[in-house]
Amino acid sequence: MKQLSPDAVRPIGLFDSGEGGLTVARAVADLLPREHLVYACDTAHFPYGPRPLAEVRAFFLRFMEFFAEQNCKLVIVACNTATAAAMDLLTADAFAIPALGVVQPGAVTAAKVSATGRIGVAATQGTCDSGIYPRTIRQLRPDAVVVQQACPILVIRAEEGVISGPEVRSEVERCLAPILAERVDTLVLGCTHFPHMATVIQEVVGPAVRLVDPGKATAAQVADLLRARGLLNPGPAPGRRRAFTTGDPGRFLEVAGRLWPGGIDAAVHIRL
């Protein structure tokens, strides 16, 4: 039996531009309930999608310093745009703290589960422009046909905590129409905000299209990595879940309470 490291009780850091990454945090908490989570988001600069990737990369690097100060044992880049902006650093293990993004796990799952190889990706403009999903999926499955669509309005709605209702359904239908016209059988929710409205999205795309939530695939990868390194928190108590935001912590908790009831213990304002 692999001996547990004393570092196992250190927290896992999660980074996003806003509240979208809570879908990843929730997936990690469901799979690894004893882990302490430090969720940090840059709502002062939200949204990341329209910003140049070089700017997003600079924001992310400042947060990596913050996670080091928080003594995190692992960092999850719970933002597809930030993952695209820093993919070279993530794949090169360029940080003192192990860090991984959500794109690779999502791409692996999509390439595996698609029966026809026709895969849609709903994402931010920045993620679409980077081409990271088509490139990564085709590395895994060269015959794949990958169709992308930027859905910025859905990012805004999720950040507002508005994830259902007639208006949201209408916006989902309009955003996904170009993808569905290409007869995809798999849809990657390529922004961590989108799983918040997965129920509406599934209703719109129908049962023949399989949704891929990269957050869930990332949580499974995190569990494997921590287990292999002897870093799983042995517990026995449930982990603490703290949030830090460059925006208004009160508003963060209000929206988080709608998106993940009871999921976050406290939120604090930070300046980075």
- Provide the token pair at 216: 């869930």
pLDDT tens digits along 42-98: 999 999 999 999 999 999 999 999 999 999 999 999 999 999 999 999 999 999 999
Does residue 128 surpass a pLDDT of 70? yes
As a whole number, mean pLDDT of residues 32-41 equals 98
Q: How far is CA 232 from CA 35, 74, 93, 189, in A?
A: 7, 11, 20, 28
pLDDT in tens, 139-162: 999 999 999 999 999 999 999 999
SS3 per-residue string spanning 86-101: CHHHHHCCCCCCCEEE
Residue 6 in this model has a pLDDT that exceeds 90: no
* Averaged pLDDT score across all residues of the chain: 95
- Told to judge if 191 belongs to the known catalytic residues of this protein, a careful annotator would answer yes
Amino acid 1: pLDDT: 43
Name the percent of the chain lying above pLDDT 70.
Answer: 99
Instruction: State the average pLDDT over residues 99-109.
Output: 96
pLDDT of residue 4: 55
Tens-place pLDDT, residues 173-231: 999 999 999 999 999 999 999 999 999 999 999 999 999 999 999 999 999 999 999 99
- Give the model's pLDDT for residue 144: 98
The active-site residue, picked from 128, 151, 175, 191, is: 191
For position 187, what pLDDT does the model report?
A: 98
* Span 34-45, average pLDDT: 97
Domains for the chain: give ranges and CATH numbers: 7-102+216-269 (3.40.50.1860), 104-214 (3.40.50.1860)
- 151 catalytic residue (yes or no): no
Does this model's pTM top 0.75?
A: yes
Cα(213)–Cα(237) distance, integer angstroms = 28
Q: Which of 79, 128, 151, 175 is labelled catalytic?
A: 79
Residue 239: what pLDDT? 96
